[in-house]
Amino acid sequence: MSETHGITKFFPVSWEELHRHCKALAWRLLDNGHYKGIVAITRGGLVPAAIVARELEVRVIETISCSTYDGLVRTNEVKVLKTAEAALKDEGEGWLIVDDLVDTGVTARAVRQLLPKAHFATIYAKPAGRPLVDTFITEVSQDTWILFPWDTEAVMSKPIVELRGGR
């Protein structure tokens, strides 16, 4: 990550915690009825979509692939690399979109434009993107970087006081 975009906090998420949050999301989604299928936003939405699909017994999973990064630098342009063809019919009506996180809302806006009638669910939501999703589990501040288990390795960490420039 070459630019921090105002990130001052880190929120590490373990596999167990992610699994627990995905199951909590499935519980919330259960009352919405049956879905034709799930659209996972790749790559971050793949693992949550698999867990939610299992819990809701949804067998059809499509993917939509978007990129908002040029290397390690985040851009405000969304490149849609692959669409979820089956969900595009009826503008996504009856479909569930799953992603790990809604951050600035750039990706969510692009996906919403393609599938305006789908139900959009994320595990984590930041204030700038929160209005774009229908269901989420945990809100984190805009200046927080979520460290997902697939993006991390076990290494020594600095005490918080050192991270803030103390000592």
67 vs 18, more confident: 18
pTM for the complete prediction?
A: 0.85
DSSP label of 106:
H
Alpha carbon 114 to chain centroid, angstroms: 17
Are the beta carbons of 28 and 137 closer than 8 angstroms? yes
Task: Dump pLDDT digits (tens) for 3-58.
Answer: 455 778 899 999 999 999 999 999 999 988 899 999 999 999 999 999 999 999 99
Domains and CATH numbers, the chain: 9-152 (3.40.50.2020)
- Measured distance CA(31)–CA(34) in Å, rounded: 9
Tell me which residues are annotated as active site.
99-100, 103
In the predicted structure, residue 2 carries a pLDDT above the cut 60: no
Task: Dump pLDDT digits (tens) for 76-92.
Answer: 788 888 888 888 889 99
Instruction: Return the amino acid letter for 17.
Output: E
